[in-house]
Amino acid sequence: MLLFWVLLSCHPAVEDTGEPGETGETGETGETADTADTGTSCISFQEIVETCEDVVEPVDGGAGEYYASVDLAEADWVDTVHALISVEDGVSYDATWDAFPLTDAREDGTLWDIYSTLPTGKVAYSYDLASDQCGEYSGEGDCYNREHLWPSSWFGGNSPMKSDLHHLFPTDGYVNNRRGNYAFGEVANPLWTSENGSMMGRSDQCDSDYRVFEPIDAFKGDIARVFFYMSIRYRNQDSAWASSGAAEGASLNAWAEEVLLAWHIQDPPDAKEIDRNNAVASIQGNRNPFVDHPEWACLVEDF
């Protein structure tokens, strides 16, 4: 859990005790937890978000002249970014398996999985990218498959979103199933915890009575910047997208934008994320601007 929470008194939900099934998990984000006025406190990230422009610093992402057409002084600079990153070569969904050795391999050739990897310490299991694809699974460590961080059900499973490598990650199949299509958020009392500490349970954030999935701190910023990319990249292609508790089409709801901005601030881009952005760009032809320019996320009025 993040260290910089701000506790406010508001109308929270009580602990969500409805345990989902271990297979066929759909994780409908629009499903609220049972609620009651308990008078307990909930979490707000507003004070953290308000520091964004003061604390988020540029990084050298290796983008070269890619963003030369973007002028932050122009009122429509976000539209310019949208147009720029909407030009992509893309790959087929079947071909994404072949991309993962370039985008998500550790130095020893095993999979860098945001749902099972521990940046420090001993991991419980690891995957060979060539031989450990799912397949059937009954628990963690059986195999890996493809995870749409922006859930497929939210965008109807359509292309080009389906094979967009900026949000398509190889992850443990069982943990992917447990996440279902829940939004990302902060968990109060986990109903389930993965081997690396990722958690599923009811959100304890103010204005969010949803069951959510919380990754470990080391990958929270990575996930936030994926969501910012998806919101800007597909902002004019979302008319057929389903609504969820976290988004209306490609537009993030206020509570989701707040927690993701807090994660973005507290977990800035690191070498692993920058390398992945460069690898995806070499395959797909477009970049995630919020990895290359994390300071820009502070300037977007609404994702």
In a domain, 271, yes or no: yes
Residue 30 has pLDDT above 60, yes or no: no
* Cβ count within 10 A of residue 192: 16
| pLDDT for residue 10 | 37
Could you write out the DSSP letters of every residue in 153-205?
HHHTT-TTGGG-TTTEEEEEHHHHHHHTTPEE--EEEEEEE-TTS-EEEEE-B
- Which positions ≥6 away from 24 have C-beta within 8 Å? none
pTM: 0.87
In this prediction, residue 40 carries a pLDDT of: 58
Looking at residue 87, what is its pLDDT? 80
Per-residue pLDDT, 89: 79
The pLDDT mean for the chain works out to 87
Residue 161 lies in a domain: yes
**Would you call the peptide bond into 135 cis, given omega within 30 degrees of 0 as the criterion?**
yes
Using the predicted structure, report yes or no on whether residue 157 has a pLDDT greater than 70.
yes
Within a domain: residue 1?
no
Residue 33 within any structural domain of the chain: yes
Q: What is the pLDDT of residues 225-252, one digit of tens each?
A: 999 999 999 999 999 999 888 999 999 9
Residue 303 resides in a domain: no
Question: What pLDDT was estimated at residue 208?
Answer: 81
**3-state class (DSSP) for residue 111:** strand
Q: Is the confidence at residue 224, as pLDDT, over 90?
A: yes
Q: Look at residue 132 and tell me if it is in a domain.
A: yes
Give the strand pairing for 211-214 and 199-203.
Answer: antiparallel
Residue 24 pLDDT greater than 80, yes or no: no
How far from chain centre, in Å, is Cα 286? 18
Omega within 30 of 0 (cis) for the link into 58: no
| Least confident residue range of 59-68, 118-127, 169-178, 271-280 | 118-127
Q: What is the pLDDT of residue 57?
A: 94
pLDDT band at 3 (very low <50, low <70, confident <90, very high): very low
Q: pLDDT at residue 6 above 80?
A: no
The verdict on residue 88 lying in a domain is yes
The number of domains in the chain is 1
The domain of 70 spans 6-17+26-298
Q: What is the pLDDT of residue 177?
A: 96
Residue 215 lies in a domain: yes
